[in-house]
Amino acid sequence: MRRYLPELVAFPMLPLLIAQGKYTRRVTPRLPEAGGPLEGLCGGAYAGTPLSLLTVGESPVAGVGVGTHDEAITGQLAQAMAEAMQRPVAWRACGKNGVTAREALETVIPAIPPAPVDVALVAFGVNDTTAFRPVAHWERDLRQVLQAVEQRCRPGLILLSGVPPLRHFPALPQPLRWIMGLKASVLDRAAQEIAGECGHVCHVPLALDTTDRAMMASDGYHPSAKGCTAWAGLLAAAVAARR
């Protein structure tokens, strides 16, 4: 029953939610993807062969909300990993703004270089939440994304980021924010269960300080550089614990 709770709660409010969704899309600033190179090296002062990091995902991986990929989740995770592991980290971002996990199979996955990596981050869920994708479809699509990443780059560890808590997104009005928060939590629970099926997939909950408005970009919808720093810290800690 919990899997279908968002739909059950949303149905009586559907006209209001549709109107709020249209209004939010109209008034929310549309921020560009990050500029600069899609790959780089962090921790060059450390000794040893660089660890390789690949990130695959939606708008945060594309760098929406920050200026460059060094400030986005990919560059920040690489820096946090370098500091935690005392090793250089070579990183590459493969993301696209606005895609669901299903759409990423056609538009993002083919751009992944077919080469082994040490760590891969898979970060989806916001667009699947706002599209109100059925849980069964989300599970199928997420499994296929994980399988595709596995086939293309055989990562030693896959970090599966928790679905962002849309209940705390300032850009969303109530009750739309509450409904989207319910949906995100259901999708995140499913992602956690999928990660538990695979020994080399680690689900990392997105447990950030949601009271700090500076964690969000100016649109109130995407993470800021500060938000990416905190998110990267959670992910890097998971890497260090597993390695």
Tens of pLDDT, residue by residue over 72-94, are 999 999 999 999 999 999 999 99
pTM for the whole structure: 0.96
Residue 219's nearest CA partner among 19, 23, 24, 21 is: 24
Length of the chain: 243
The CATH architecture to which 2-27+39-242 belongs is 3-Layer(aba) Sandwich (3.40)
pLDDT-derived band at 184 (thresholds 50, 70, 90) equals very high
Can you list the pairs that 187-193 forms with residues at least 24 positions away whose Cβ atoms lie under 8 Å? 187/125, 187/128, 187/129, 187/133, 187/135, 187/138, 187/163, 188/125, 188/162, 188/163, 189/2, 190/3, 190/135, 190/138, 190/139, 190/142, 191/125, 191/138, 191/142, 191/160, 191/162, 191/163, 192/162
pLDDT-derived band at 1 (thresholds 50, 70, 90) equals low
Residue with tokens 């919808």: 221
What is the pLDDT, as a whole number, of residue 4? 81
State what percent of residues in the chain have pLDDT above 70: 100
Residue 27 CB burial class (10 angstroms; 0-12, 13-18, ≥19): exposed
